[in-house]
Amino acid sequence: MASPMIQVRNVSKRYQRGGEILQVLDGLDLDMEEGRFYALMGPSGSGKTTLLNLVGGLDRPDSGEVVVADAPVGQLSGAALSRWRADNVGFVFQSFNLIPVLTALENIELPLSLTPLSRAKRREHAYFALELVGMKDRAHHRPNQLSGGQEQRVAIARAVATDPRVILADEPTGDLDRDSADQVLDLLVRLNKEMKKTILMVTHDPRAANHAQRVVHLDKGRLERVVEVDKAQAADTSTTEG
Ligand SMILES: Nc1ncnc2c1ncn2[C@@H]1O[C@H](COP(=O)(O)OP(=O)(O)OP(=O)(O)O)[C@@H](O)[C@H]1O
Ligand SMILES: [Mg+2]
């Protein structure tokens, strides 16, 4: 059997604030399989963003191992880590984080500038990603000329433009109305189903979590449980609620 796409082994992370030590992750063990869509839930402060940052190589554990796409992410540093990140992960944030002075197309081209692709190829890939998220007609709009939902779709296009194996999304629907949230969630489902992306999405919203296949529950830096989403029941809940 193939090894899991994401392996978290006995990972601990603490922060020091003033004289106080805050144990954010405490001996966490977690495997996530390739090609699956995971939702990550848990109370505020339970360590969700911290875990996402470790998996994406934006931060490193104090102890334990983080292996993602066969790379010992927790041990890489400097140029090797940047290179690995550019090749393997796409990030999506709650507040979109698009560059205001760049157009949608230019925002998507940005991560491609870290690849050896020619200028023409970069443009081609960026257009392909824009089309994928249904935003080709907004290629030359700047972020402030887009709705929140559209901005997030451009951000998702930016995350997939380099064709990463893993997509990490931190509350991607947190700032969106219900319709825009549904579009973003449907898009993530498609990226998982059609492009086989492994997705880890932090969310506080059980409706959003129902779009995933498995829900990982964290509490106080520990794994509480992993729950398989019952798709029939999930569909039922989303039509009867609200
Ligand atoms: N750089 C830092 N320095 C000090 N403490 C930090 C740092 N980053 C996070 N923390 C603390 O670690 C704990 C976990 O933070 P984290 O952001 O992982 O929580 P979260 O589960 O994502 O919460 P939320 O749902 O509110 O986003 C919090 O108590 C937070 O204040
Ligand atoms: Mg968070």
Residues near 181 by Cβ (< 8 Å), separated by ≥ 6?
149, 173, 205, 208
Only one residue has tokens 């470790």, namely: 54
C-alpha–C-alpha distance, residues 128 and 122, integer Å:
10
Give the three-class secondary structure for 22: strand
For residues 12-40, give the mean pLDDT: 96
Q: Which residues pair with 206 in a beta bridge?
A: none
Only one residue has tokens 């963003």, namely: 49
User: pLDDT tens, 41-63?
Assistant: 999 999 999 999 999 999 999 99
- Which atom from ligand 1 is nearest to the alpha carbon of 52? 18
Q: How many CA atoms lie within 13 A of 110 on its CB side?
A: 18
Domains and CATH numbers, the chain: 6-240 (3.40.50.300)
Please give the share of the chain, as a percent, with pLDDT higher than 70.
Answer: 97
Residue closest by Cα to atom 5 of ligand 1: 15
Q: Tell me, what amino acid is at 154?
A: V
Structural tokens at position 96: 């979109």
Q: How confident is the model at residue 242 (pLDDT cuts 50, 70, 90)?
A: very low
CB-neighbour burial class of residue 227 (10 A; exposed 0-12, middle 13-18, buried 19+): middle
C-alpha–C-alpha distance, residues 141 and 172, integer Å:
21
Tell me the chain's radius of gyration from C-alpha atoms.
18
> Residue 20 C-alpha to ligand 1 middle, in angstroms?
14
User: pLDDT tens, 74-121?
Assistant: 899 999 999 999 999 999 999 999 999 999 999 999 999 988 899 999
> Residue 204 C-alpha to ligand 2 middle, in angstroms?
10
Q: Which residues pair with 25 in a beta bridge?
A: 13
- pLDDT value at position 219? 96
Only one residue has tokens 């989403």, namely: 229
